[in-house]
Every structure is written in C-alpha cells, then in structure tokens.
Structure 1
Amino acid sequence: MKKIAIFGVGLIGGSFALALKGAGAVQQVVGVGRTAATLERARALGIIDVACTSVQDALAGAELVLIAAPVAQTGAILAAIAPHLQPGTVVTDAGSTKSDVVAAARAALGPKIAQFVPGHPIAGAELSGPDAAMAQLYRGKKVVLTALPENAEADVERVAGAWRHCGALIHRLGAEQHDSVFAAVSHLPHLLAFGLVDDIARKAHADLLFQYAASGFRDFTRIAGSSPEMWRDISIANQAALLRELDEYMAQLARMRGLLAAGDGTGLEAVYANAQQARHAWNKTIEAAERPAIEGGN
C-alpha cells in the first residue's frame, strides 16, 4: 500500500504500523491523534511518517484507515471521516466490541457503510502509548473480522491481507457472536482482575498484603495494569453480554462458597480438576495454532 492512516498511534495502532513497515507492506503511515505530543513521539519512534491534524489530509490517497482508539470514540471518529471518505478507501477498526461499533458505523457512514470492515486483533499488553508499540505484537495472534453483508470481499481481503502482513491469523465471526464470546474470555477476566486488585488496595492492611503477593497474584492480575479508560468503554459497550457472564460467574462462586462452607473437599477438588484439565487442553490448542505462524513468519 502506498498510504495508510491510523487514528490512535499507541500500542495497537503503533504496533500495526511497525509490523506493516517491517514487512515492507506500506510506503507511508499517517497518524492522527488527540494530542500533538503523542503524535510527535510516534513520529520520533518511526511509527508514523507524518503527524496529521486534518482528517481530510489524512484520508487523501489512503488505501486503508485503521481506527485504534477507545471504542467510545469510534462513532465520533467515523463521523469525522465520513465527509472525506473517497471510493477505494477501506476503513477498519481494532475495537474489542463489535455490535456497538457496527451500529455507530451505520449511523456515521450511511451509504458508505460498505467501506467499513469491523475487526478486532486479539493481542495486547498492559502498557499503552507509542512507547509500548512493538512490531512483533501480532505474530501468531488471531484477528477477528466481523464483515458486514454490504462489504465487498475484495475490501475484506484488503483488511485481512494487512493483518496477515503483521503475522496474524484471520478468523471471522458475526458481531453479536463476537461480543458474546469475548464477554466470557476477555471482558469478564479484566473486570475480575480490576475488582480483585481494587478490593485489596482498599483494605486497611493493603501494604502488608501486597508485600507478600507473589507470582500467582502477579499472573492473575497482570491485566489490571491495562488502561482504565479503554476497559471502562469496553465494559459499558458490551454491558448486556458482560452482565450475563458476570451473573453466571457469581453463581459459580456461590456454588464454590457452598462447597467450602460445607467442608466438601471432594466437591472443590472436582471443580479444580475440571478447570485444570480444561486449562491444559486450551493451552495445547493455542500452542499448536500459534506455532506455525511464529515459525513460518509472515
């Protein structure tokens, strides 16, 4: 591609740019952001070639546009893009929720909705900003595309091809199915990690507790170091599905509390054993899926 534009040049957008540059898949990357300092830092790091404050200038001649901003901002960004979106430009996003993004896109783009291909890279870290960007972030990781009925297959493939240049594995889901799946395996775990750390931090003896927290606590709560703004937006955007998963998890905790209160070691062990078996099986599946992409390169 000769030119791409990225709205949001932090971990997600910045890593996308670095990966495409590393693969020789793009000649020019234009960055658009909320603050001049962030854009300048991204330019200094070689993530973007041009820092742009004009949406019109950013889109001029761009073959692909990536929106890598918090999901609550997607509608406003699409509304700003719409008047300047020319035929031949494909827009995609990296949001962790899809039903709300699709609704925002339909409202903002109207008859140009066919040019928007929703997406979600399943990769990240607890760090944020341009300094967190890394060219290898997407190697062997999944990217879910929730293509719309209006999308031309060639446009979907343009987005998929860009992610493949980053080393990613392409999967497809419907928007509602996507949100249901990720409420269970991503959004709920983040809510739980944030909740646990917040609970401990509010205790009178928090300093003592944190003093003795070790690797298990660190691994379980790593994602609580993520952006509060981003996860606030994701939680509200996927509220219905997340509430369903939270209710089911609270019912599971109630069952486990009952086992513990009754001193039912056999019952607790059965829960633990089932979880262990499922965890090992999942881990083997992930390793088998990711290894060919990592070993085989782009």
Structure 2
Amino acid sequence: MAQSFKKIVIFGVGLIGGSFALALRKAHAVSEVVGFGRSAATLEQARQLGIIDRIGEDVACEVADADLVLLATPVGQMAELMARISPHLGAHTLVTDGGSTKGDVVAAARANMGGRISQFVPAHPIAGAEKSGAAAAMADLYVGKKVVLTPLPENSNESVARVRLAWEACDAVVSELTAEQHDAVFAAVSHLPHLLSFALVHDLAQRDDRDLLLSFAASGFRDFTRIAASSPEMWRDISLANREALLRELQAYIGELTMMSSALEAGDAARLEQIFRTARELRAGWAERQGQ
C-alpha cells in the first residue's frame, strides 16, 4: 500500500495502539508515528521496539500537522485527552479511538471537542489479548478481525472513508453501527461474558476449599475463565460505562439461570435437554461461520 498517512500520533502505545502502528508500518501506509503516554518507560520501550519513531513532547505541536490521531487509552482517560488536543488539531487532522464502549466516548467528544466534533470518527477494534503493554503489540493483531466504526452525523463521508482506510490497511474487516447499536450488541456478546467469567472465579476465590477445587479444574474451566485474566481496571471502566445495556443483559441472563434452576429442582430432564440442545445448535452454527 502506498503511504496513505504521513504522520500518525498515538496516545497509548500498548497492545491496541502499538499493534495499530506496527500494522500500518507493515503495510507501508505511514511515514512517521509519534507516541504519547503516561509511562516514560513504556514509551521508550515502544521506541526501541520500532512501534513509534519518536516520543512526543509537545501535544499541540504534534497534533497540529498529524493526519490521524488515535486515542488508544482506557476510555476513562479520553475526555481529558480530547480537551487537550482539540484546540490544536489541524484543519485536516482526524481523530479516532479504540474504546470498547461508544456511547460514553461520543458523549465525551461532544463535551470536549466543540467545533472539532466533525473530525472525530469513533471506532472499536474487536481484537485483544490478556497481555498488555508495548511488548504485547503485534503487527498481525487485526488481521481478519472486525473493527466497528460508529460515525457521527457531523462526520463527512471523506473523513469516515479515511479512518476506514487506516483500519483496512491493518487487514481488519470494517463495519458500521450507531453508537447505541454498538453498545447494545457488545453488552450481550462481550461485556456480559466477561462479567460472568469474573463472577465465577470470584465465587471460587471466596471459598475455603478453593485450592482443592482448582486442583481438579480442567479445560472447561480454563476456556470459560480465560477472559477473567483480563485487566480489572479496564473491565471496571467498561462495565460502568455501558452499565444500562449491561444491566439489561444481566437481568436476561438471571432469567435464564432461574429457568434452569427450576428445571433442575423439578427434575425436568426434557426441559434441560431442550435448553442445552438449542444452545449447542446456535453455538455450532456460529463456530462454523467463524471457521472454528
């Protein structure tokens, strides 16, 4: 790919931001990457790993002539960053993000970007790993993975197309939803599963015989609880940011558990088998479509 972006500025050069930079470098789609972050050690590591060319020092100077700015920090930090960069954005500088929730990020942008709101195109790359930090970044993280854009009414078609181009250069598959659709969808298929995984492990952690229980845990426990190894701070923020949609999904799940509890109490084998069969068929169809 011909160099589509002369300069990209990334706030947060860990897994998401670092992988974005590496993927664009691999595609020869960017000339220069400048990194900002809260940890000088992480930034220096990112520079040594070839993720960024330079460690940014002056935010106003760097964003003024950037083609694209990526906010790859926890969503709780984005409002402050938007307020810092907005007065200094160049006329053609676009801003996007990698946040796992969109309603709160859009609200933060509207509160802090003022007349620059048309330059912000929200996004969510559906890719990740349990490891974090610059050392976890990889050039192929987004290959074949979904990235959801949630364009604003103020965004021009050209701006959305430019942000789409950046993610497609990472070999991602780009889709579009509204922010509201995004948060409802991911409450069901991402945020709730994380909540349930954390809840199961937390339950075991409170038990006196947890070491005995874990000594017999095998692949089922490992697969179900893998995502409980994710960042507690990040998932605290995601859960609170999307709490309304997540509460709706949690209540629906409690209803499912209540139904299964009633079937167990009644010894209703047919009902249990029907629940399990319906779930198995849906899971098998989904896995087949995913090539798994």
TM-score of the two chains, using structure 2 as the length reference: 0.97
Q: Displacement, 1:202? A: 1.7
Identify the range of structure 1 (108-117 vs 51-60) with the bigger mean alpha-carbon deviation: 51-60
Q: Displacement, 1:44? A: 1.2
Which of residues 251, 258, 264 is equivalent to 2:255?
A: 251
- Judge conservation of contact 1:68–1:95 (CA < 8 Å) in 2: yes
Kindly provide the amino acid, as one letter, of the partner of residue 28 in structure 2.
Answer: G
Runs of 4+ in 1 over 4 A off after TM superposition: none
2:207 matched to 1:180? no
What is the match of residue 136 of structure 1? 140
Greater relative CO, 1 or 2 (CA 8 Å, sep 6+): 1
What is the match of residue 24 of structure 1? 28
Which of residues 212, 231, 234 is equivalent to 2:235?
A: 231
Q: Displacement, 1:60? A: 3.3
Question: Aligned equivalents of 2:54 and 2:97: distance in 1?
Answer: 20
Question: Aligned equivalents of 2:268 and 2:131: distance in 1?
Answer: 41
What is the match of residue 269 of structure 1? 273
Question: Aligned equivalents of 1:258 and 1:280: distance in 2?
Answer: 26
- Judge conservation of contact 1:4–1:26 (CA < 8 Å) in 2: yes
Q: Displacement, 1:266? A: 1.2
Q: Displacement, 1:201? A: 1.5
Identify the range of structure 1 (156-165 vs 206-215) with the bigger mean alpha-carbon deviation: 206-215
What is the match of residue 10 of structure 2? 6
Q: Displacement, 1:229? A: 1.0
SS in 1 for 2:30: coil
Percentage of matched positions with identical amino acids: 61
What is the match of residue 149 of structure 1? 153
Kindly provide the amino acid, as one letter, of the partner of residue 94 in structure 1.
Answer: G
- Judge conservation of contact 1:193–1:221 (CA < 8 Å) in 2: yes
Deviation per residue, 1:195-217 (Å, 9 max, x gap) = 11111122111111121111111
Question: Aligned equivalents of 1:98 and 1:119: distance in 2?
Answer: 8
Question: Aligned equivalents of 1:264 and 1:41: distance in 2?
Answer: 58
Counterparts of 1:83-162 in structure 2 under 5 Å?
Answer: 83-162=87-166
TM-score of the two chains, using structure 1 as the length reference: 0.95
2:57 matched to 1:57? no
Q: Displacement, 1:55? A: 1.3
What is the match of residue 45 of structure 1? 49
Question: Aligned equivalents of 2:214 and 2:180: distance in 1?
Answer: 39
Which of residues 167, 172, 176 is equivalent to 2:171?
A: 167
SS in 2 for 1:194: helix
CA root-mean-square deviation:
1.0
Question: Aligned equivalents of 2:65 and 2:9: distance in 1?
Answer: 10
SS in 2 for 1:117: coil
Q: Which runs of 5+ in 2 are unaligned?
A: none
Question: Aligned equivalents of 1:42 and 1:60: distance in 2?
Answer: 22
- Judge conservation of contact 2:187–2:249 (CA < 8 Å) in 1: yes
Question: Aligned equivalents of 2:243 and 2:264: distance in 1?
Answer: 31
Q: Displacement, 1:140? A: 0.5
Kindly provide the amino acid, as one letter, of the partner of residue 24 in structure 1.
Answer: H
Q: Which runs of 5+ in 1 are unaligned?
A: 289-298
Question: Aligned equivalents of 1:152 and 1:203: distance in 2?
Answer: 55
What is the match of residue 284 of structure 1? 288
- Judge conservation of contact 1:5–1:65 (CA < 8 Å) in 2: yes
What is the match of residue 295 of structure 1? none
Question: Aligned equivalents of 2:291 and 2:34: distance in 1?
Answer: 35
Deviation per residue, 1:94-139 (Å, 9 max, x gap) = 1111111111001111111000000001111111111111111110
SS in 2 for 1:143: strand
Aligned length: 288
What is the match of residue 221 of structure 1? 225
Q: Displacement, 1:263? A: 1.2
Deviation per residue, 1:213-263 (Å, 9 max, x gap) = 111111111111111111111000001000000010011101001111111
